[in-house]
Amino acid sequence: MLSNKTTSSAVRSAINALQHYKVLNTLTNDCFDKALETEQQLSIEKKNNSPLYGRPILIKDNFCLRDTLTTCASKMLANFRAPYTSTIVQRLIDHGCIIVGKTNMDEFAMGVASWGAFGPVANPWSLTKTTMTNVENNKTVLHVAGGSSGGSAAAVAANFVSIALGSDTGGSIRNPAARCGCYGFKPSYGLLSRLGMVALVNSFDSPGFFARNIDDLIFATNAVAGPDDEDATLLSKPFENFKTSNELSKEKKKIIIGLPDDYDVNTLSSEYRLCWQDLVHRLTETGEYTFKRVQLPYTPYSNAAYTILSSCEIASNMARYDGIKYGHHTKNIDKNKDTYEDILKKTRDESLGERVRGRILAGNYYLLEENYDKYFVQSQRVRRGVMNDYKKVFEEDKIDCLLAPVVSNDPITLAEYEQADDIFSEDDIFTVGANLAGLPALSFPVRLSSKGFPIGLQLIGPFLKDQELLSTAYRICSTYQFPFLDLTKQI
């Protein structure tokens, strides 16, 4: 019934696309039947004039939706149904959004390939003619979609839905947005409620959105931003809606953009560096932008600090997953011998992936009394240094925003990623700084590489200057046409 194409409803079109392209593995679980019922109900009773009304969306599977599986792409939560709905998801529903499904991700949002317990998300550009097939079995060679919010990014990039919800802890929205060829927006820390988003690293986690245009990012953010009495980390002051493109197009202020020398690293491929340089040249010719080289001297240490601090918070947050209160519980118990620690070890060995267990071990190691000062405390000092770097650039050097890479090269294949030993990506150096400092950042597609994959760049702005960042992004992206993918045309 769900694959019937006789109706032109937006929800059914999204469902058809998601079912047709199961090879991309964008979902952990679906809400198809409920979505169709909701769409029919909303068509009868028009409740508001929101630009999101009646639109199908997807939400990353670390956001709670009442009575719906919330797995975080982990065997630990494979059967967990959330008892409540997260603030952000509820506000989207209140604006008339229709939840079509929960998107695939890295397990507990730890990773850069969106490869959890239910398999990897594939990059939708792998299905285009610009990529190759495996000669031995004549199957399309699939590539990583980025992570950890890869399911949301892939679905938007392929045009299955126009908006999807994700989360960004160290680049988990911007990385897959750049890999898949769509917009990815991480607002300032504290702008969007984290209530009902399964915590990874409380002091870094930021909800955000994927879209195919700036206006949809604005519509979605306007719908969910604002105070929430249930989230103590949220800004308490009232939220003032962001302006949309009709108003942004009238702004002609000259913009000063910083180019961080410390992001021009050896791992950045010549093709991706050239894309960065070409955009600077193109914008300079318009006469509306001034570019300045800037220094962020703590950048070389940011990855190490992020790794240590995130592992420490992960170790604390993951302590709740013992298989007793909720989640997977081992059946391999010797009642006459096993202690609580034995049961905990068996439960986690059975239900948590190697990456997650490695982060827990690392975090507990860094938090040992003899290690605390030289790892955790020192990393906090580096974090403060990163924040001061940005503060100097924005306040003393009078830079409006930074323009920088997001990833260094085209995505590798899923087979290549499976053989890789690295737990952390070298590309994190481009993205973790904004999380360490709580700054707004937006990834946007620029052009295709020689192999036919999107090349994305990002803007990073001062704290709570999200409106200005969106405005600058809109102006920049209006100067060229990116060839967005649309796999729905091939159904």
Angstrom distances, CA of residue 42 to CA of 3, 31, 316: 21, 16, 42
Question: Which residue numbers are catalytic?
Answer: 60, 148, 172
As a whole number of angstroms, the distance between CA 267 and CA 179 comes to 16
**7-257+403-478 has CATH 3.10.20.600 classification:** no
As a whole number of angstroms, the distance between CA 147 and CA 176 comes to 5
Contact 220, 52 (CB under 8 A): yes
Question: What residue type is assigned to position 192 of the chain?
Answer: L
Residue 6, Cβ neighbours under 10 Å: how many?
5
- pLDDT for 1 equals 37
E strand spans, 388-471: 401-405, 441-448, 454-460
- pLDDT for 419 equals 87
- Largest Cα separation within the chain, whole Å, is 78
At residue 403's C-alpha, the angle toward residues 58 and 464, to 5°, is 65
Secondary structure (3-state) at 377: helix
C-alpha dihedral, 436 to 440 to 441 to 444, nearest 10°: 160
Q: 51-87 in b/e burial notation, b at 16+ Cβ within 10 A?
A: ebebbbbbbbbbbbbeebbbbbbbbbbbebebeebbb
- Parse the chain into domains and list their residue ranges: 7-257+403-478
From first to last of its 491 residues, the chain has per-residue pLDDT tens of 343 333 469 999 999 999 999 999 999 999 999 999 999 999 988 778 899 999 999 999 999 999 999 999 999 999 999 999 999 999 999 999 999 999 999 999 999 999 999 999 999 999 995 445 555 555 789 999 999 999 999 999 999 999 999 999 999 999 999 999 999 999 999 999 999 999 999 999 999 999 999 999 999 999 999 999 999 999 988 999 999 988 876 777 899 999 999 999 999 999 999 999 999 999 999 999 999 999 999 999 999 999 999 999 999 999 999 988 889 999 999 999 999 999 999 999 999 999 999 999 999 999 999 999 999 999 999 999 999 999 999 999 999 999 999 999 999 999 999 988 765 578 999 999 999 999 999 999 999 999 999 999 999 999 999 999 999 999 999 999 999 999 999 88
Secondary structure (3-state) at 197: strand
